[in-house]
Amino acid sequence: MAASRHGDFGELLALLDPDVVMRADDAAVRAGASAEVVGARAVAKTLSGRAREARLAMLGGVVGAMWASDDGRPRVAFDFTIVNGRITEISLHAEPAELQGLEWTELSE
């Protein structure tokens, strides 16, 4: 999260698998996300400097990230698949019906 928040492109590349895929659901796409971004450089470019408001969180018992409104309502949940210490897949979920029942707890970084 810190690498993305601070636009540390090199650190982002180190965290991402070369073949990483980032996918967004329809609601996230309507909000401006790309439906699919493939490859470490492309994903790092997409994320660099954009996670200023995202927070590390437990999402239904799994570590991920959450962007929430000022009143604490979830807006976008980020799921990460990690293999051999590198992120291989990132999924963005912004469908209100899916987020409505999601239990999440912010984690300290």
Q: What is the pLDDT of residue 67?
A: 87
User: Is 80 exceeded by the pLDDT of residue 5?
Assistant: no
CB 29 within 8 A of CB 93: no
- For 6-62, the pLDDT digits (tens) are 555 677 788 899 999 999 999 999 999 999 999 999 998 888 766 667 788 898 888
User: Is 90 exceeded by the pLDDT of residue 98?
Assistant: no
Q: What is the pLDDT of residue 94?
A: 95
Q: What is the DSSP string of 25-88?
A: -HHHHHTT--SEEESHHHHHHHHTTT-SS-EEEEETTEEEEEEE-TTS-EEEEEEEEEETTEEE
Does the residue 109 lie in any domain?
no
Does the residue 78 lie in any domain?
yes
Does the residue 73 lie in any domain?
yes
Does the residue 86 lie in any domain?
yes
| Residue 40 lies in domain | 2-104
Number of domains in the chain: 1
Token pair recorded at residue 38:
């493939």
The CATH number given to whatever domain includes residue 19 is 3.10.450.50
